[in-house]
Amino acid sequence: MEKIRNIAIIAHVDHGKTTLVDQLLKQSGAFRQNQQLAERIMDSMDLEKEKGITIKAKNASFQYADYKINIIDTPGHADFGSEVERSLGMVDGVLLLVDSVEGPQAQTKFVLKKALAQNLPALVLINKIDRPNAQPIQVLDQVFELFLELEASEKQLDFPVLYVSAKEGFALKEWKKEISEQDRKNGFRPLFEAIITHIPSPTIYPDSSFKLLVANLDYSDYLGRIAIGKVFSGSIQVGSPLFCYHKSSQLSCGSVTAILGFKGLERVALNEASAGDIVGIAGLEEVYIGDTLSDSEKVIPLPRVEVDPPTVRMRIVVNDSPLAGKEGKFLTARHIYERLQKEARTNVGLRVQETDIPGTFEVNGRGTMQIAVLVEQMRREGFELMVSRPEVIYKEDTSGIIYEPIELLLVDIPQENLGGVMEMLSKRAGNIRLMKNSQSRVFIECLIPTRGLIGFKTEFINLTRGEGYCSHLFHEYGPKQGEVEIRKRGVLVSMERGLSTTYALENLQQRGVLFIGPGVEVYEGMVVGEHKRPGDLLVNPCKAKHLTNIRSQGEGKAIGLEPPRIFRLEEALEFIDADEFVELTPTKMRIRKKILDAHERKKASLKVGS
């Protein structure tokens, strides 16, 4: 056990965690020399590769000298914070990765706070030192200030530091601008030695009984459900009896059918698992994250994994549009509910519940992206469904005061964009806490309601022309703020069913921005564009030009259509209003009104107004 190290790599999104893991595995000899490897080996999901972010925490392992090092690559986006929280329960130390240009960001603060709360030692890595605008010494000062702000102990404040380039694959014990050839040849050797020196061997319980805390779940067609976690005490062999202590104090039993360890990225079958190991155990069908596995039915379960509560909710609805059922394989409420329940078992940050409306389910999560990723996975699996606009989850105390989630927003922008960003924050009820100028850029720290962040990023990127950075994380529940201005304009709503025509769209593009091109199948109540003015406008995108035997003045002129605005799923969810859905099929995404008929829609709005 003294030769085992269990570590998690934590950082803000895009600070280089997955690239670092790639290099650790390559330089430790976890792969054959002739083995073909893609970039970001740990990002196994299609969505992870497309978005360039880590969504699910993943386990790997490698040997250095005679030490076995288990590593967990965690997500960096705030919406997937629950993956980080449960991963920290498996490890005995963390590698805190910080970008040498951007410095500590919102999620850096979140993950470090969770690690310090569990009294885990941190090895700080200042990454991307090969960039021309790197400022590692200033960033190190910011990291130290962050430790102080989070009230780290004296021992935690005395953290070791390495300066690394995950992309180039080398680490330095001391910062220097000129990187020698010898430094590059040494590679990650200083990092391997620092892990062995500064990360302690596994903490275990002085108990003879086998105990494992389930921190992750997987499924195999051959083995069934696999519970992954750290062994806190005792040992277990294949064929041993297995007991599971659930949250409800219920006890289920079975036997160990397989024990899986990690070697590189592969899983290998083991005969035995001992205290300190991170392993997967098969043999129980009903097992959930936070449960305790043991070989005895008379033990005290380990403390459960506790995660922060959800702050955003959306409704997922059975698709009832006129074009429903043409593409998908899974269309019914039963199919959708079973899939949502399956996701909730493995994702502790999600809550799924049925509503009073048939075919409508409420999904609560950490943020829009977390739920959008789930919905995108479902559509790729063959589901058809509709999703409502994100709403924040309010709380009410005994005195009737309503509280809403407040986020800490960090913004780094060019000086010339300050006025526009300040105006945008004021409209979204932002409360500025800190503003700092440095050369030609401005850093702003503010508290803003979660509902004020819906649609914020798209508007922010457009305003700063892609030159601004922004990150956020949940801060606290606070008294409800004033009204937040989100969407100023109405939409263009189709009043006909048919195929859109170039002739009709040429006239409509003068009224706003189109979401469709010619030859697209539309139906009554479908949103085909954004109106230039407030209020919705009924339009006919299927109108055809009447042919006559009289030659018109404009005959033969080419019709010029602007390219339609194409939404990503998160953008569409943040764009829609309370009376609209995003309709998803395996190949198409449409925006539509909840009530398709224009007269019924008007009646419903009058009822709401009265």
CA–CA separation, 324 vs 327, rounded Å? 8
- Give, rounded to a whole angstrom, the gap between the first and last alpha carbons of the chain: 70
Ligand-binding annotation for 89, yes or no, is: no
Residue listed under structure tokens 């010339």: 416
Sign for the pseudo-dihedral over CA of 33, 35, 38, 43: negative
Ligand-binding annotation for 130, yes or no, is: yes
Nearest-CA neighbor of 175 among 121, 233, 122, 130?
A: 130
569 contacts 563 by C-beta, under 8 angstroms: no
Q: 493 is written with which tokens?
A: 């709503």
Ligand-binding annotation for 14, yes or no, is: yes
Q: 500 is written with which tokens?
A: 């859109």
Give Cα separations from 320 to 386, 387, 584 (angstroms).
Answer: 8, 12, 11
240 contacts 253 by C-beta, under 8 angstroms: no
Ligand-binding annotation for 16, yes or no, is: yes
CA–CA separation, 490 vs 487, rounded Å? 8
Give how far the C-alpha of residue 80 lies from the chain's centroid of Cα atoms, to the nearest Å.
Answer: 4
75 contacts 53 by C-beta, under 8 angstroms: yes
Ligand-binding annotation for 183, yes or no, is: no
Nearest-CA neighbor of 211 among 295, 287, 272, 269?
A: 295
CA–CA separation, 339 vs 385, rounded Å? 12
Which residues lie below 8 Å from residue 365, measured CB to CB, with a gap of 6+? 79, 310, 312, 313, 314, 349, 350, 351, 371, 374
Ligand-binding annotation for 292, yes or no, is: no
Q: Where are the alpha helices (DSSP H) in 28-157?
A: 46-51, 81-87, 106-117, 136-149, 154-157
512 contacts 492 by C-beta, under 8 angstroms: yes
How does DSSP classify residue 330? B
Annotate 368-435 with DSSP letters as a single string: HHHHHHHHHHHHHTTB-EEEEPPEE--EE-TT--EEEEEEEEEEEEEGGGHHHHHHHHHHTT-EEEEE
Sign for the pseudo-dihedral over CA of 31, 33, 34, 40: positive
Strand, coil or helix: what is 570? helix
Backbone φ, ψ for residue 345 (5° rounding):
-65, -35
Give Cα separations from 357 to 354, 389, 429, 545, 596 (angstroms).
Answer: 8, 17, 33, 43, 18
Ligand-binding annotation for 127, yes or no, is: yes
CA–CA separation, 500 vs 551, rounded Å? 24
252 contacts 246 by C-beta, under 8 angstroms: yes
Ligand-binding annotation for 74, yes or no, is: no
Ligand-binding annotation for 129, yes or no, is: yes
Sign for the pseudo-dihedral over CA of 389, 392, 397, 400: negative
Ligand-binding annotation for 128, yes or no, is: yes
Return binding residues. Answer: 14-19, 127-130
Residue ranges for the known binding site for GTP are 14-19, 127-130
